[in-house]
């Protein structure tokens, strides 16, 4: 099917093609017949059984519009976002680029989304029927990034199966400073304190850069193992 549609899809810019895919899912232009579940794919994530270890990462359904249709395609989990406290346009266009020979994309969107208030209302109106993750981050022009994470955490902690703290985006200036030991420790400590205040045990994931050196990964692992996320 994709091979037949590929020439048509590639006539559009990658960002327009993505918008069309969202609309197709939103209005059921794509089959909603669920694939048969397989015992070979059943797995457990954060103590809950899911139908497959293959899911949709944040970045596709940024505004939490099509998480249930995506689950109906057979994905084991869907993670929406990245969501920021206030709506923002993201980086100037063009900001998504095809690498056709590598069958890949370069994504420089920059946390474009409609904001925490709008998205939380949408999720409340349409309960997820899948294992559901919510990815949160700070606004580009914020004066207090930790506070932005906390604002989003308080907005979404009771709407998902887990929350992802996104510190990996290279498109938000200095966001990756949270990979440093002191900054990351402060952020996670604040999240943990907020969990205690809200009396929630929702699991926390941390999205880190894919190109970190092993020494950096070890530091991040030590902070988590120290008990900040228990």
Residues labelled catalytic: 169
Q: Which of 86, 67, 93, 98 has its CA nearest to residue 160? A: 67
Q: Residue 36 is encoded by which pair of tokens?
A: 């048969």
Percentages of the chain per state (helix, strand, coil), in multiples of 5? 40, 15, 45
User: Which backbone phi and psi does 150 adopt, to 5 degrees?
Assistant: -65, -40
Q: Which of 63, 79, 166, 77 is nearest to 114 (CA)?
A: 63
- Structural contact between residues 84 and 138, judged by C-beta atoms closer than 8 angstroms: yes
Question: How is residue 14 written in tokens?
Answer: 């990658």
In Å, what is the CA distance from 208 to each residue of 4, 44, 58, 117, 180?
A: 36, 22, 13, 25, 11
Q: Look up residue 224 and give its two tokens.
A: 């988590």
Structure tokens at 84: 């920021």
Q: Which of 227, 117, 112, 204 is nearest to 157 (CA)?
A: 204
Phi, psi (degrees; rounded to nearest 5) at 117: -65, -50
């Amino acid at each position: 099917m994709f091979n037949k549609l590929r020439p048509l899809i590639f006539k559009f810019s990658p960002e327009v093609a993505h918008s069309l895919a969202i609309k197709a899912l939103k209005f059921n232009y794509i089959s909603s017949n669920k694939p048969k579940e397989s015992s070979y794919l059943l797995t457990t994530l954060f103590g809950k059984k899911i139908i497959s270890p293959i899911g949709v990462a944040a970045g596709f359904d940024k505004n939490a519009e099509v998480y249930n249709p995506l689950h109906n395609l057979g994905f084991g989990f869907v993670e929406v976002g990245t969501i920021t406290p206030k709506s923002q346009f993201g980086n100037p266009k063009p900001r998504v680029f095809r690498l056709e020979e590598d069958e890949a994309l370069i994504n420089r969107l920059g946390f474009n989304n409609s904001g925490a208030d709008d998205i939380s209302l949408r999720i409340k109106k349409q309960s997820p029927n899948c294992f559901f993750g919510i990815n949160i981050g700070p606004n580009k022009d914020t004066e207090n990034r930790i506070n932005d994470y906390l604002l989003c955490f308080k907005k979404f902690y009771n709407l998902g199966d887990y929350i992802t703290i996104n510190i990996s985006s290279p498109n938000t200036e200095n966001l990756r400073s949270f990979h440093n030991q002191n900054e990351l420790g402060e952020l996670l400590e604040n999240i943990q304190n907020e969990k205690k205040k809200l009396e929630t045990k929702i699991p926390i994931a941390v999205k880190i850069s894919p190109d970190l050196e092993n020494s950096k990964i070890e530091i991040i692992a030590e902070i988590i193992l120290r008990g900040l996320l228990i």
